[in-house]
């Protein structure tokens, strides 16, 4: 199967839709408003590294810890769920430990950028597309993620405080919906597998 631009565009757009960094802007700004520092470069590099590792070694990496992709997805969905609860109710659940003021890796790199949905998608894409196309698609999306993270404060100023308050609630509900969908889809399969093994 020869490399072609159509394949690359398909992979890039699929990953762009799953990562949804544009839709994550209110979450990023909400984290920054709590005084938690986000290093755009660090978050982007870590997220990109996670995605590339999963592209080539996803099943093996999880297997080392005795974890399957569905259990991984359930864990990621729980983090997303509690982030959504924070946004909708205006409460703080994630407490930063003393001396720690960075949210670059958790929750930005994982699970917001390189979350369970992204990991599952990458592993699924391997069955249909060339690894080289998926790799380039990941790199293109990583570049877009970096630009958006770097511009998040500018975007926040343009939207304004009242606009951000509305977006925070709306995207909080969307995040909750995604988390519940991800949780139910994967927990059902896990339960069925467990019952079959008994």
Residue 90's closest CA among 23, 169, 177? Answer: 169
Indicate if the pLDDT at residue 100 is higher than 70: no
- pTM higher than 0.75 for the full model? no
pLDDT tens-digit profile of 30-72?
888 778 888 999 999 999 999 999 899 987 887 888 887 778 7
- Cβ atoms of 73 and 182 closer than 8 Å: yes
Encode pLDDT of 136-165 as tens digits.
999 999 999 999 999 988 887 887 778 777
**Confidence at residue 44, expressed as pLDDT on a 0 to 100 scale:** 95
> Which among 128, 2, 9, 103 has a CA at the least distance from the CA of 47?
103
């Amino acid at each position: 199967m020869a490399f072609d631009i159509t394949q690359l565009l398909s992979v890039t757009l699929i990953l762009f839709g799953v990562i949804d960094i544009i839709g994550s802007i209110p979450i990023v700004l909400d984290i920054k408003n709590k005084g938690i520092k986000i290093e755009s470069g660090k978050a982007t590099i870590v997220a990109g590294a996670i995605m590339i590792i999963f592209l080539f070694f996803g099943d093996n990496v999880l297997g080392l810890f005795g974890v399957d992709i569905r259990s991984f997805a359930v864990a990621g969905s729980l983090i997303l769920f509690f982030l959504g609860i924070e946004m909708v109710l205006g409460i703080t659940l994630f407490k930063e430990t003393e001396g720690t003021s960075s949210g670059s890796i958790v929750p930005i790199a994982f699970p917001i950028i390189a979350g369970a949905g992204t990991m599952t998608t990458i592993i699924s894409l391997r069955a249909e597309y060339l690894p080289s196309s998926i790799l380039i698609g990941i790199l293109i999306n990583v570049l877009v993620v970096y630009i958006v993270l770097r511009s998040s404060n500018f975007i926040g100023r343009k939207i304004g405080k009242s606009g951000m308050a509305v977006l925070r609630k709306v995207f909080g509900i969307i995040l909750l919906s995604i988390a519940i969908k991800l949780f139910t889809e994967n927990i059902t399969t896990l339960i069925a597998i467990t019952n079959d093994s008994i």
